[in-house]
Amino acid sequence: MRTKRIAWTLCVACVFVAWNPTVAAEPLTPEMVLDLKSVSDAVISPDGDHIIYVLRVPRTADEEKGSDHEQIWMVSASGEGEPTRFVTGSGDAWSPQWSPDGRWIAFLSDRGEEGDDSDEGETQVYVMSFFGGEARKLTESETSVRSFKWSPDGNWIAYVASDPKTEEEEEAEERGEDWTVVDENLKARRLWAIDVESGETRRVTETDISVWDFDWSPAGDRLVISATDEPRTDDSYMFKSLYLVAAAGGEPTQLCETEGKLREPRWSPDGEQIAFRGAVSLNDPYPGSLFVVNVSAGRPVNLTPVIPATITSVKWRNRESLMFAAIEGTETTLNTIDADGDEMKAVFSGVEIFYDFTLSRDGKRAAVAANSFEHPREVFLWEPGGLFRRGEGTMTRLTHLNPDLDGIELAPQEAVSWTARDGLEIEGLLLKPLNYTEGKRYPLVVQVHGGPEGAYLDGWNTSWGRWSQLLAARDYVVLMPNFRGSIGRGVEFSKADHNDLGGADMQDVLDGIDYLVERGLVDDDRVGIGGTSYGGFLSALAATAHSERFAAAIDNAGISNWISFTGVTDIPYEMCIVHWNFWVFDHPDLPWERSALAHIDKANTPTLICHGKADIRVHHEQALQLYTALKHKGVETQLVLYPRATHGLRERAHKLDFMTRCIDWFDKYLKDAE
């Protein structure tokens, strides 16, 4: 069952894909999940005939520890022939881009020259002919290239790289004088440009602002950049501004006034306008509205002020119209809109879930990395027209990366909704056990997303940090709620948790549990909860303030003390401005009351706590505080710290341990108690 669509588009393209519940030999296991391949980028050629994509290949158990491998592959948009690996050799390769004429492909890699490891670890731009041959290293940046983009004529590539250490700083480090003075001597992220033929390099941004995204003007004489005064992560979230700068270099000039988060500034084909995704206010948690600003007038106009959806990517289709991807409830759509905002329509809405897309030069084909209930991200081609003429688009799958999934039985997944105690409709996803028996009550695990500006979508929801199918295969009901504060239902809904973190959003979760109990699906005495980041916070709060409702909890990288968290996170302003609406240290009473540590006296829920030791988003002191308090209270608890892990796990052994440990924890306290 799919979510009822909200009627805001002028027409809807529907493609129905039937799921065939074939009886399979075995369910998913943690080891199988770790072996799944997926696509992270899909980039269509200017003529629309080929798609290059990044294939993420998990490391095997006997490989050196590290994150997944990244490889660049190519597939014909016609679907003829087999996909081929385009970039070979040692080292990973990612972020591929076609040259405007389609004859060259540039990409990022840390491979170094063949047989030369002198610059190993520094990411550089490489260029390779579409017709084959060896890749040529283009840039010689002293620090890793963060992002790049071809000029419209294909003669230049602009790229972003941080300032390197000075010679004096290098010498001081060698003497052991390597202390850090916080917020001093920060390294700006500069915009550079390099001549593809000669290698001539010039610095584009002369001032010390830090560049996070950019786009060339159609004439190639200027660039629009989103930049901040300082290179801190918090600044990149909250304090970006739009500037114009000459391609030959110089001092940027501010394009217009913006407020809050913004991403993806993109120049129109006629050079007269710039589109971007932005926030409607400083406290808007997500840049999910579409703005257009005239280059000469300088006043942004919101083209999507009232849609009950969240825009995740935008591109110009031609000089008169744009195309954007959006989350709508638990689904995603591809849409077009006139540059003046007068006409908007969906050109695809189906079972595929995607966040981004790339367009051919004529705007008539798009490449998409999409997942569905049946598989992780694969390469798809969108084209207008097709069998169902009520709409304008169809999706064609071009890759089949995990054939072993064809022999796996998956539990059914459905979109559900319930009414919160204050009357607000809350949506989410539900998985029944793989071998579900009507009338039987099952143990329930509530899987809570992070953010809180995240959302569960009706696609593939099983990974090291999401246990949906793994739990359903072990006779659990799984609920994935999109509580208030989630994206996908417009700005008002995403702001509905402001000044109230851990309040009404936690009640939405509790009301979802009551809904399933009333349906006769779950046993109210065997309810577990788990999640990562903000999902870890709600899980820790559930295990303390609402302990009587939960028989087991898992807090991964979660917040247990809002006061101390604000002092050690790398995004204190983002959390305070767009969620609390006040500086936590000025008004600590409510943040403390919504902290798990404030309710230890009520805690009686066995709680597994996991955290990365290199996490700077949520410092692992949050885990230590909760563990110490629960231990002192006599609550059954376990703390696992993963070395080298940041705000998420990268290494195979860590992921396997985490998945296995979580399943065992739920089994012990939700099933053994039966």
Q: Which amino acid is at 209?
A: I
For 188-204, what is each residue's pLDDT tens digit? 999 999 999 999 999 99
Per-residue pLDDT tens for 337-376? 999 998 999 999 999 999 999 999 999 999 999 999 999 9
Sorting pLDDT into bands at 50, 70 and 90, what band is 113? low
Q: What's the pLDDT at 120?
A: 57
Asked if pLDDT for residue 663 goes beyond 60, the answer is: yes
Give the tens place of pLDDT for each residue, 591-650.
999 999 999 999 999 999 999 999 999 999 999 999 999 999 999 999 999 999 999 999
Distance of CA 21 to the CA centre of its chain: 30
* Residue 68 located in a structural domain: no
With respect to residue 314, please indicate whether it lies within any of the assigned structural domains. no
Q: Give the mean model confidence (pLDDT) for residues 502-530.
A: 98
For residue 577, give its domain range.
409-671
Specify which residues 191 forms β-bridges with.
160
Is there a domain that residue 212 lies in?
A: no
Q: What percent of the chain has pLDDT over 90?
A: 91
Q: Tell me what the mean pLDDT of segment 218-231 comes to.
A: 98
Mean pLDDT of 94-116: 87
User: What distance in Å separates the CA atoms of residue 629 and residue 452, rounded to the nearest whole number?
Assistant: 25
Residue 188 per-residue DSSP state? P
500 has a pLDDT exceeding 50: yes
Please report whether residue 388 resides in a domain: no
Determine the pLDDT at residue 673: 56
327 in any annotated domain: no
Q: What's the pLDDT at 388?
A: 44
Least confident of 108-112, 314-318, 386-390: 386-390
Q: What integer pLDDT is reported at residue 2 of this predicted model? A: 39
Average pLDDT score over residue span 27-53? 96
pLDDT for the residue numbered 386: 54
What does the alpha-carbon distance between residue 421 and residue 418 come to, in Å, rounded to a whole number?
Answer: 10
Contacting residues for 179 by C-beta, under 8 A, at least 6 apart = none
255 pLDDT higher than 50 = yes
Residue 320 tokens, joined: 């008169």
Residue 90: predicted pLDDT: 80
Contacts by residues 139-144 (CB-CB < 8 Å, ≥ 24 positions apart):
139/194, 139/201, 140/199, 140/201, 141/192, 143/187, 144/110
Pairing of strands 637-642, 607-612: parallel
Cα separation, 431 vs 436, in Å, equals 10
- Residue 507's pLDDT is 98
- Residue 319 pLDDT > 60: yes
Confidence of residue 327 (pLDDT cuts 50, 70, 90): very high
User: Which DSSP symbol is given to 215?
Assistant: E
The answer to whether residue 361 is domain-embedded is no
Q: Can you give the pTM of this predicted structure? A: 0.93
Residue 435 lies in a domain: yes
Mean pLDDT to the nearest integer, 538-564: 98
Mean pLDDT taken over the chain: 93
Is residue 41 within 8 Å of residue 147, measured between CB atoms? no
Domain total of the chain: 1
Q: Lowest mean pLDDT of 272-276, 341-345, 376-380, 549-553, name the range.
A: 341-345
Computed over its alpha carbons, how large is the radius of gyration of the chain? 25
Tens-place pLDDT, residues 118-138: 445 799 999 999 998 899 999
Confidence grade of residue 23 (pLDDT, cut at 50, 70, 90):
very low
Other CB atoms within 10 A of residue 90 CB: 12
Q: Is 18's pLDDT higher than 90? A: no
Q: Is-contact 458 415, C-beta < 8 A?
A: yes
Contact (CB, 8 A) for 610 and 556: yes
Query: What's the CATH number where 448 sits?
Result: 3.40.50.1820
**Residue 427 falls inside a structural domain:** yes
Mean pLDDT in residue range 379-394: 74
Token pair, residue 652, equals 């195979």
* Distance spanning both ends of the chain, measured CA to CA: 31
